[in-house]
């Protein structure tokens, strides 16, 4: 017997495509039933649960449509467990909160940047747009101890909001895929800008998630990529060559008025800085992809020569340590060849530096206590920990299944425990027995290791001291997936889910308190460490006479062209949505029925004559009346 496991959002999405988009009609369009058969599901390999590390789903919700290109999310969690996310959206119904700095899109059909803050329970504290009349794209954010939010991103808008007295109030130019970079400080409640400035040249530049940090003096460091040969540079920095692409690294004063230093890094067709970290002495660490074969590597480098790519999509990477004034390279090495373009870096006290990403490098340096010494797939994820003072490699392992992995974010839960998140196309990705989700859609052709294919997201926790996989689970399918733990070990996540430029099921779990359900693309949620799970709801069927069941049989119109059909087989009622298969509904009273595993009820309503005249679909506190159609 087929297992009915998901909602019928796909058919409802199509039926409501031409409706005016407001929250009420969106809620109607999410409804529920869609009986998608779980065919072609493969259970991934699992290892036994270790210690007491168990994660449950705290909240999980869709937020909004993203842009078609360059959605570029970032995520941050504060000491109280609040989650902040940034990205870009062209959703006219973005759930901006009352009193937010900007509540509507400024450009017709163009994307604006956004910032949203969530409580630990998943409620929106505030959500604001920020942008001009043209397109905003990649973003990065961080939050200081007072709760002020710092947002960096790319913009094509010459009228992007900037403030008086800052470093640069003039838009400098744009190219095909980007314009200037902006740096904006927002107040803790999302209602106003403290300062906002441009930085850029006559062509184009942008940043990425994880590319903005605050040092011990309150200075703001941003990093990214530029094609502008006139990008602003300062004296005495490490690189001022003006050829090809460059990574850039720039430091601003706390008030955004002064450019303390600005330097290029590297020079090649795909030179970027994609990861940025700061230690407690304000030394700066960067990682990114490179085609430069002449980087000034230091004597203690792990690898001193670039690995030339053997196939399209492969690229080498580097890791560098730079002093706080941007004037000296303290360490530089090539590292992790043959991987995807993204790489990540995090620093933690007292001297732990975590680098992660993907690699396809013969002889990739692994340590004796590695979980996996050899690669298993087309590309494997890697996790490497350096001593940040000596830049010696203390732990390094490959990690993944037999296809391709990309670790998009990683962080320390403590000095010996690391959490990683990213995407995989491996049906045999290593999972633990207590995984929240362990199924992989092997028969879905859209899931594969090609660049634009859908991947499964994953969250894994590794004990690097004892070389143990403590926890590992799949989540939904997506293109981008970032995580950020809080101080208690709970893990917030944000994803670009769904198919690009198309409405589609994403497979992400959606909790009962969700702000929105499909069709949307930005997914936000939180996993709770060692939380006591809620008891499973048990549905107890109530006996209902056949004559009463028979009276409920018929067609009920939810909206024009969309009908729920109730049929009866022996003593069992079933429901079928237009264009979908049918599934059983269970009586919990004489006129109320539920679908097992779905938070919704169907209530049959009678008129004064005792005849069934309608059916009410109840979900998330909303009642939607479906009129019974005459035979």
Q: Give me the phi and psi of 11, to 5 degrees please.
A: -70, -35
- The CATH number linked to 599 is 2.40.128.50
Identify whether residues 61 and 77 lie together within a single domain: no
Identify whether residues 105 and 52 lie together within a single domain: no
DSSP character at residue 304: -
Q: What is the pLDDT of residue 257?
A: 97
Pairing of strands 431-432, 46-47: parallel
Q: Do residues 483 and 50 lie in contact, with contact meaning Cβ atoms separated by under 8 Å?
A: no
| DSSP symbols for 406-430 | EEEEEEEEETTEEEEEEEE--TT--
Identify whether residues 521 and 613 lie together within a single domain: no
The tokens for 459 are: 């969250």
Q: What is the pLDDT of residue 498?
A: 62
Q: What is the pLDDT of residue 530?
A: 79
Which residues form the domain of 492? 41-65+336-534
- First CA to last CA across the chain, in angstroms? 31
Beta-carbon contacts of residue 350 (< 8 Å; ≥ 6 apart): none
Q: What is the pLDDT of residue 518?
A: 47
In a domain, 526, yes or no: yes
In a domain, 330, yes or no: no
**344 to 210, 287, 382, 427, 504: CA distances (angstroms):** 8, 7, 11, 24, 29
Instruction: Give CA–CA dist 522/155, Å, rounded.
Output: 20
Q: Exposure of 559 by Cβ count < 10 A (0-12 exposed, 13-18 middle, 19+ buried)?
A: middle
In a domain, 301, yes or no: no
| DSSP symbols for 162-181 | --TTSS--S-----SS--EE
In a domain, 205, yes or no: yes
Instruction: Give CA–CA dist 230/402, Å, rounded.
Output: 45
| Element containing residue 198 per DSSP (H, E) | strand 193-199
Identify whether residues 588 and 527 lie together within a single domain: no
Identify whether residues 128 and 252 lie together within a single domain: yes
Identify whether residues 385 and 247 lie together within a single domain: no
Instruction: Give CA–CA dist 626/615, Å, rounded.
Output: 5
Strand partners, 55: 529
Q: Do residues 149 and 156 lie in contact, with contact meaning Cβ atoms separated by under 8 Å?
A: no
Query: Of 510, 534, 558, which one is at a domain's C-terminal end?
Result: 534
* Number of domains making up the chain: 3
Q: How many CA atoms lie within 13 A of 106 on its CB side?
A: 22
In a domain, 29, yes or no: no
Query: Of 234, 258, 275, which one is at a domain's C-terminal end?
Result: 275
Identify whether residues 257 and 147 lie together within a single domain: yes
In a domain, 310, yes or no: no
Instruction: Give CA–CA dist 210/189, Å, rounded.
Output: 22
Averaged in consecutive runs of 10 residues, what is the pLDDT profile of the chain (631 residues)? 30 32 34 31 46 83 76 89 93 92 88 94 95 92 96 95 96 87 96 97 89 97 92 81 79 97 83 93 95 92 90 87 96 91 92 94 88 84 96 96 93 94 93 89 62 80 93 88 94 78 48 60 84 67 93 91 90 85 88 79 92 86 84 76
Identify whether residues 214 and 267 lie together within a single domain: yes
Identify whether residues 554 and 520 lie together within a single domain: no
**362 to 209, 335, 421, 496: CA distances (angstroms):** 29, 12, 24, 31
In a domain, 315, yes or no: no
Identify whether residues 79 and 149 lie together within a single domain: yes
Identify whether residues 491 and 572 lie together within a single domain: no
Angle at 290 between CA 284 and CA 296, to 5 degrees: 60
Q: What is the pLDDT of residue 376?
A: 81
What SS3 class is residue 535?
coil
Q: What is the pLDDT of residue 573?
A: 93
Identify whether residues 488 and 606 lie together within a single domain: no
Instruction: Give CA–CA dist 395/370, Å, rounded.
Output: 7
Query: Of 502, 534, 566, which one is at a domain's C-terminal end?
Result: 534
Instruction: Give CA–CA dist 441/437, Å, rounded.
Output: 12
pTM above 0.85, yes or no: no
Q: What is the pLDDT of residue 355?
A: 97
Instruction: Give CA–CA dist 274/277, Å, rounded.
Output: 11
In a domain, 118, yes or no: yes
């Amino acid at each position: 017997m087929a297992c009915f496991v998901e909602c019928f959002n796909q058919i409802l999405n199509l039926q409501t495509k031409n409706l005016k988009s407001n929250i009420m009609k969106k809620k109607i369009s999410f409804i529920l039933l869609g009986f998608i058969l779980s065919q072609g599901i493969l259970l991934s390999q699992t290892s036994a649960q270790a210690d007491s590390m168990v994660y449950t789903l705290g909240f999980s919700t869709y937020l909004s449509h993203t842009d078609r290109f360059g959605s570029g999310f970032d995520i941050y969690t504060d000491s109280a467990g609040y989650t902040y996310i940034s990205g870009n959206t062209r959703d006219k119904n973005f759930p901006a909160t009352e009193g937010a700095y900007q509540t509507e899109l400024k450009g017709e059909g163009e994307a604006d940047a956004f910032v949203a803050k969530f409580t630990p329970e998943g409620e929106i504290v505030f959500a604001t747009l920020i942008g001009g009349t043209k397109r905003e794209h990649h973003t990065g954010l961080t939050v200081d101890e007072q709760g002020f939010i710092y947002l960096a991103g790319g913009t094509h808008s010459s009228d992007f909001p900037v403030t008086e007295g800052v470093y640069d109030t003039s838009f400098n130019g744009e190219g095909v895929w980007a314009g200037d970079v902006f740096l904006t400080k927002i107040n803790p409640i999302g209602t106003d800008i403290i300062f906002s400035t441009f930085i850029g040249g006559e062509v184009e530049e942008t940043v990425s998630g994880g590319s903005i940090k605050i040092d011990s003096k309150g200075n703001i460091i941003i990093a990214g990529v530029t094609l502008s040969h006139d990008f602003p540079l300062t004296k005495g920095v490490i690189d001022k060559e003006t050829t090809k692409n460059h990574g850039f690294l720039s430091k601003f004063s706390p008030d955004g008025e002064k450019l303390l230093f600005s330097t290029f890094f590297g020079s090649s067709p795909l030179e970027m800085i994609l990861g940025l970290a700061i230690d407690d002495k304000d030394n700066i660490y960067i990682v990114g992809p490179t085609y430069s074969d002449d980087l000034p590597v230091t004597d203690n480098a792990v690898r001193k020569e670039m690995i030339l790519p053997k196939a399209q999509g492969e690229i080498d990477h580097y890791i560098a340590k730079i002093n706080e004034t941007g004037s000296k390279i303290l360490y530089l090495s090539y590292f992790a060849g043959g991987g995807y373009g993204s790489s990540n870096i995090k620093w933690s006290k007292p001297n732990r530096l975590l680098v992660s990403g993907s690699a396809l490098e013969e002889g990739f340096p692994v340590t004796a206590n590695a979980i996996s010494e050899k690669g298993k797939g087309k590309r494997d994820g890697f996790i490497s920990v350096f001593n940040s003072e000596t830049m010696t490699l203390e732990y390094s392992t490959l990690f993944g299944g037999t296809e391709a992995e990309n670790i998009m974010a990683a962080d320390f839960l403590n000095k010996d425990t690391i959490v990683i998140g990213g995407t995989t196309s491996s049906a045999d990705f290593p999972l633990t027995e207590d995984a929240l989700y362990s199924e992989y859609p092997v028969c879905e052709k859209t899931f594969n290791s090609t660049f634009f294919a859908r991947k499964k997201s994953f969250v894994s926790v590794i004990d690097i001291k004892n070389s143990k996989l403590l926890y590992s689970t799949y989540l939904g399918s997506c293109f981008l997936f970032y995580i950020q733990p809080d101080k208690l070990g709970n893990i917030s996540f944000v994803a670009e889910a769904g198919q690009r430029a198309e409405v589609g099921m994403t497979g992400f779990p959606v909790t009962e308190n969700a702000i929105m359900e499909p069709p949307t693309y930005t997914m936000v949620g939180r996993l709770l460490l060692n939380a006591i799970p809620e008891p499973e709801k048990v549905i107890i069927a109530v006996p209902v006479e056949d004559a009463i069941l028979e009276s409920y049989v018929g067609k009920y119109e939810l909206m024009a062209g969309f009908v729920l059909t109730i049929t009866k087989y022996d003593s069992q009622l079933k429901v079928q949505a237009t264009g979908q298969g049918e599934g059983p509904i269970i009586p919990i009273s004489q006129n109320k029925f539920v679908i097992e595993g779905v938070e919704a009820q169907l209530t049959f309503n009678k008129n004064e004559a005792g005849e069934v005249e309608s059916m009410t679909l109840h979900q998330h506190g909303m009642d939607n009346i479906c009129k019974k159609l005459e035979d």
